[in-house]
Amino acid sequence: MMKPLLVLGAVVGTLSCGAVLAQQVVNKPAPPKKAVTKQEAAKSTKDATTAEFEKFREVLEADSPAELFEAKGEDIWKNKRGPDGGSMAQCDLGLGAGVVRGAYVQMPRYFADADKVMDAERRVVHCMTRYLGYQEADIRKQPFSNEQNTPDHVSVVTYVASQSRGMAVAVPQKHPREREAYELGKAVFAYRAGPYDFSCETCHGDDGKRIRMQQLPNLAKKEDAMKSFQGWPGYRMTGGFMLTQQWRMNDCFRQQRFPEPKYLSDAVTTLLTYLTVNANGNVYKGPGVKR
């Protein structure tokens, strides 16, 4: 049931990048033989599938498996010590050393000690290498979770995110570097290139687009912008591990047939700045569940 294979060919045809995306639709079932038009059938299948998934997600989020990773991250944050006795109590996420509460919904932001705008994951990795003795080279070997392993920094990001549950997104735009990051992110979002001349907007700049069972939010629209933040980090039901926004960006560059960005690169931070500022004012529900 989890494998998103059950969508009609007609649905894919509604995407502007349909020809390419059609390649991704594996094991397409034959359209149902009913006395309705192809379009009607596609629409009702879409709606039913989405409704079913949303129901399932609600049930799961009520008793969220993400809590396991929150707990692991909390333990690292509170108890782990670096080789020099350092701890995450020294880590400033933007609201003062050791302050976690509310920090997640206020990143990306400018950090003077690094002279960089950093998103939450970048900042967490920065602190873990600085205070806990983690090696950046090791973290880069496996930046994202898979079936075998959820890296420590992902658990810490999940913990940090959980400490902003129920709070409004309020990413600052006071510092000139923060405003610059927003403008750059906006440009990256619109930048078309690669073998198919795709940009993020190709898939996320219109209403009602979809690939297989997945609805594509129109991230250029204020109402939808929260989708790039809500539910992240997300517990991946089809694998049983946590994925972060950094992973999502990476995977969408892949969707776009771009080369993968370097992990924790400026380009990804600027994109996250653009998307998150657009989501400002919405209430964050905490780490969620993603298919």
Residue in 91, 127, 200, 252 annotated catalytic: 252
Please pick, from the candidates 105, 203, 220, 226, the single residue that binds ligand HEC as defined by CB under 6 A: 203
Indicate which single residue of 91, 132, 171, 211 sits in contact with ligand HEC (rule: CB under 6 A). 211
Is beta strand 287-290 parallel, antiparallel or unpaired with respect to 231-236?
A: parallel
Catalytic residue status for 127: no
Residue selected from 73, 94, 108, 217 as contacting ligand HEC according to rule CB under 6 A = 217
Cβ atoms of 132 and 86 within 8 Å: the answer is: yes
- The structure tokens 């996420």 sit at 93
Measured between alpha carbons, how far is 77 from 249 in angstroms, rounded to an integer? Answer: 25
Written as one string, the DSSP assignment of 208-251 is TEEETTEEE--TTSHHHHGGGTTEEEEEETTTTEEE-HHHHHHH
Decide if residue 264 touches ligand HEC (CB under 6 A): no
- Give the type of residue at 173: Q
Nearest approach, Cβ of residue 113 and ligand HEC (Å): 27
Residue with Cβ nearer ligand HEC (10 or 17): 17
Answer yes or no whether residue 252 interacts with ligand HEC by CB under 6 A.
yes
Q: What gap in Å lies between CA 143 and CA 19, rounded to an integer?
A: 32
Considering only residues 45, 106, 150, 228, which one is a binding residue for ligand HEC as defined by CB under 6 A? 228
> What residues make contact with ligand HEC under the rule CB under 6 A?
17, 189, 198, 200, 202-204, 211, 214-217, 219, 227-228, 231, 248-249, 252-253, 255-256, 271, 275, 291
